[in-house]
Chain A
Amino acid sequence: MQKIVQHLAAMAAVVLVGGLLSATLVRLAPGFGVDEQQLDARLSSESVQALRQARAGDRNLARFYLHYLGRALRGDLGESRTLNRPVRELLAQRLPVTARLVGLGLLAGWFCAVLLALGATMARRAACDLAATLLGAIFLSVPAAVLALLFVFANAPACLVIALVVFPKVFSYTRNLLAQSYDSPHLVTAYAKGVGPLRILLWHVLPVAGAQLLAVAGISVSIALGAAIPVEALCGIAGIGQLAWQAALGRDLPLLVNLTVLVTVITLAANWGSEFAGQSFRTSAA
């Protein structure tokens, strides 16, 4: 319970600091505080002055941050400059699309990585080791954006790009972890006593490696979310990755910083979730 409270407090601190950094970015960005209305030729100089006065409060960074935070607590995340729509509405609309894409990609990537890592470890041949290293190196070397372009060309599902981005990292980590587990003395003894490979895997390898694999699950969420930007932008999927790209091209900082804070919170939650799951797994395995 104490750990949960600690993690929640740390997450709140990250959101506050992230919010402050975001607000600072928005505040320092060129064009901040300039209202389009001020360019209206019909307005008198007094009216323009009044508009400037109304915006003057936001020039103080501390006051601006308090306003920003107050609005954020009420659920008002501001308005997108390029799309002219509330950021909250955009996030609510696009987050499920990205969640589905990333979720499917993670499932496919993990399934292939664990399966291949198990095969490569159990085969225990130099050729398998070499093939596995080369396969991992090649997939690690292709940018997610190129994979997305090739998948658009091949008319293949975009979630597979996420799977291919996640695959090499999970694969190499899982393979190393399994190789370490299989080399441990108690497993050598189990083999010598004639215990079957399936029983060894289920009873001796997975309980030990499982907790550490769960820790990688959290990291893979962050990798998949990062890959969602080029994938959604180039495959024309209306998720938060595409939104971030559009915001960057349009220099829509209010939208971009809110997206970054949101994605940071999701990543932190995923990391801590996997840490808790790993701990419970370790406890139940013991």
Chain B
Amino acid sequence: MRRVRQFAWLLLALVVLASLGAGLWAPADYAMQFRETPNSPPSHQHLLGTDELGRDRFSRVLYGTRVSLLMAPAAALLSTLLATLVGGIAGYLGGWWERAAMGATDLFLSMPWLFLLLAVRAMLPLNIAPITSVAVTFLLLGLLGWAASARVLCAGVRGLRDSDFVLQARASGLRGPRLLAIHVLPNLKPVLLAQFWISIPVFIISEANLGILGLGVSEPLPSWGSLLRELESFTSFGFEAWKLAPLVLLVLVVSSFQIILSRDEVYA
């Protein structure tokens, strides 16, 4: 199992490096259209062929990977920060504050994730610029995905609040934000990191689902979600296997996260 985890780390590192250097090794811009060769199969010029608009699929996969792999951690960071704020305050203050915050958390958790995303996404305009759509999609994921982490963090802070060393620090006159910053937050670091890592694959999958349903990142900017929309016109595994490249990459990356997390979750 250790070797599988090492392989997962290596794969993740390679994909991240490849996507970060998309500008260096992508043969064309993600929006450039080779109008004379739409829907072409793989060739020397187009490693993964072209889509129906003649755009180089390999370049789009590289740029799309960059969008998904940079924005999902950003959304995970936002949701973890929100969870720390809500869960941390609720756990530290306890009593009525904790009950109210956990009530709100329960309300969020009882709404199926995709229904909630759809309801809030529908409030915002659908016809927006591609860059804005990236920001909207991932901001939404970050702003709505805090609830499960908040519950875990609240329990963690509650445990620390009642611990001997925090009690001793309080008795020595340390209070409020200083107590939180010096004694509580550093001890929460493993839980915070675990919650951050757990959120990334969840957000990648959610963006893919939203993208396929036409509610994610807008064209021509690629993301894994928008690239997977192409599967709607998929006709054959044998003749069009290269169209599955974004799916294979998504499965490999998210599986790598799951395999790495399968150990980290135990520690969290």
Interface on A for B, CB 8 Å cutoff? 13-14, 17-18, 25, 28-30, 126, 129-130, 133-134, 136-138, 140-146, 149-150, 153, 222-223, 225-227, 229-230, 233-234, 244-245, 247-249, 251-253, 256-257, 259-260, 263-264, 267-268, 271
Contacts and interface: CB of A to CB of B under 8 A. Distances in A.
Given A129-B1, A264-B110, A251 B126 contact: yes
A64 B26 CA distance: 54
A259 B119 CA distance: 9
Interface string B98-126: 00000100110011111110111111011
Given A13-B103, A249-B214, A264-B107, 18 more contacts: A14-B107, A28-B123, A130-B4, A134-B255, A134-B259, A137-B258, A140-B254, A143-B209, A144-B209, A145-B228, A153-B234, A223-B112, A249-B122, A256-B118, A256-B122, A260-B116, A260-B119, A264-B112
A226 B115 contact: yes
B208 interface: yes
B122 A251 contact: yes
A28 B123 CA distance: 9
Given A130-B4, A248-B215, A141 B255 contact: yes
B122 A222 contact: no
A164 to B, nearest CB: 13
Interface of B: 1, 4, 103, 106-107, 110-116, 118-123, 125-126, 201, 205, 208-209, 212-215, 228, 231-232, 234-235, 247, 250-255, 258-259, 262
Contact of B119 (A130, A227, A257, A271): A257
B118 A143 contact: no
B119 A225 contact: no
B232 A138 contact: no
A244 B258 contact: no
A253 B125 CA distance: 12
Contact of B4 (A28, A134, A222, A268): A134
B226 to A, nearest CB: 12
| List of 8 A-B pairs having minimum Cβ-Cβ separation, nearest first | A141-B254, A145-B212, A226-B112, A137-B258, A248-B122, A143-B208, A226-B114, A248-B118
Contacts of B122: 247-249, 251-253, 256
17 contacts: A25-B119, A129-B1, A136-B258, A138-B251, A140-B258, A143-B205, A143-B208, A153-B234, A222-B110, A229-B114, A230-B209, A230-B212, A230-B213, A233-B213, A247-B122, A257-B119, A263-B111
Nearest to A221: B112
Most buried by A among B103, B116, B213, B232: B213
B229 to A, nearest CB: 9
A144 to B, nearest CB: 6
B212 A149 contact: yes
A83 to B, nearest CB: 15
B112 A133 contact: no
B248 to A, nearest CB: 10
Most buried by B among A144, A150, A248, A256: A248
B39 to A, nearest CB: 17
A276 to B, nearest CB: 16
Most buried by B among A130, A141, A260: A141
B107 A149 contact: no
B118 A229 contact: yes
B123 A141 contact: no
A256 B209 contact: no
A146 B118 contact: no
Contacts of B114: 226-227, 229-230
Contact of A256 (B119, B205, B214, B255): B119
A142 to B, nearest CB: 6
A133 B263 CA distance: 11
Given A136-B258, A248-B122, A264 B212 contact: no
